[in-house]
């Protein structure tokens, strides 16, 4: 019996996302083993504001995927505090990410990267947010 040639197209999208996510973030941030908190590395400081927000939101997603955090959605004031960014920078850049469909917002105004946005967000981070 011949194998269906279409089976060559099958892959585990979650694993691809995890590998790509890890590669994109490895020099920028880490996840605290105990608390699941996003820990900024020196590479974070080399990003522009948009890149910092994308990296931070992707880091929150990574913490959830690792089972180290319960939720990836985060309020702008918490991003500002945890990423050491001024609110006057965070809020307009988050709106920009929404407008470009690189982030989503909950009913309670918390931001996150939805599953369909992960690869575009990673690509944006890799290509020019540095």
Question: Per-residue pLDDT tens for 44-96?
Answer: 999 999 999 999 999 999 999 999 999 999 999 999 999 999 999 999 999 99
User: Whole-structure pTM over 0.75, yes or no?
Assistant: yes
Report, in this order, helix, strand and coil percent for the chain, each rounded to 5: 55, 10, 35
Each domain of the chain, given as residue ranges in start order, spans: 11-127
Q: Tell me the sheet residues that pair with 59.
A: none
Q: Which CATH number fits domain 11-127: 3.30.390.10, 1.20.1250.20, 1.10.3210.50, 1.10.10.10?
A: 1.10.10.10
Q: Tell me the sheet residues that pair with 74.
A: 111
H-only helix segments in the chain: 13-25, 49-65, 76-82, 87-99, 118-127
Identify the residue whose tokens are 């089972």: 67
Contact 34, 67 (CB under 8 A): no
């Amino acid at each position: 019996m011949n194998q269906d040639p279409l089976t060559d197209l099958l892959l585990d999208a979650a694993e691809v996302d995890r590998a790509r996510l890890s590669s994109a973030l490895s020099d920028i941030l880490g996840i605290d083993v105990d608390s699941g908190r996003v820990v900024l590395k020196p590479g974070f400081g080399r990003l522009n504001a948009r890149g910092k927000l994308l990296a931070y939101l992707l880091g929150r997603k990574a913490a959830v995927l690792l089972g180290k955090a319960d939720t990836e959605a985060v309020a702008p004031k918490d991003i500002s505090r945890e990423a050491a960014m001024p609110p006057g920078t965070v809020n307009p850049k988050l709106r920009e990410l929404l407008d470009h469909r690189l982030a989503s917002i909950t009913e309670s105004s918390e931001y996150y990267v939805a599953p369909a946005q992960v690869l575009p967000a990673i690509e944006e981070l890799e290509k020019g947010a540095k």
